[in-house]
Amino acid sequence: MKILPAIDLKNGKCVRLKMGDFDTEHVVSDDVLRTAKDFAACGAELIHMVDLDGAKTGSGVNYDIVRTVCAESGASVELGGGIRTMEAVECALDLGVRRVVIGSAAVSDPEFVKEAVKRYGERIAVGIDARGGTVRTDGWLKDSGKDYIETAKQMESIGIKTIIFTDIEKDGLLNGPAFERLFSLRRAVSCEIVASGGVTTLDDVRALRDGGIDAAIAGKAIYAKRLDLKDAIREARK
C-alpha span between 55 and 84 (Å, rounded): 9
Residue 129 among the catalytic residues = yes
Longest dimension (CA), the chain: 41
Q: Of 8, 53, 138, 204, which one is the catalytic site residue?
A: 8
Taking CA atoms, 202 is separated from 20, 171, 184, 224, 236, in Å, by 24, 17, 21, 14, 9
Of 51, 53, 129, 171, the catalytic one is: 129
Distance CA 156, CA 165 (A): 13
Q: What is the DSSP letter of 23?
A: E
Q: CA gyration radius for the chain?
A: 16
d(CA 221, CA 175): 10
Residue 134's alpha-carbon distances to 69, 146, 147, 167, in angstroms, are 33, 5, 5, 10
Query: Please, what is the end-to-end C-alpha distance for the chain in angstroms?
Result: 8
DSSP track, 169-216: TTTTS-S---HHHHHHHHHH--SEEEEES---SHHHHHHHHHTT--EE
CA-to-CA distance for 184 and 200, rounded, in angstroms? Answer: 21
Residues annotated as catalytic (active site), given as ranges: 8, 129
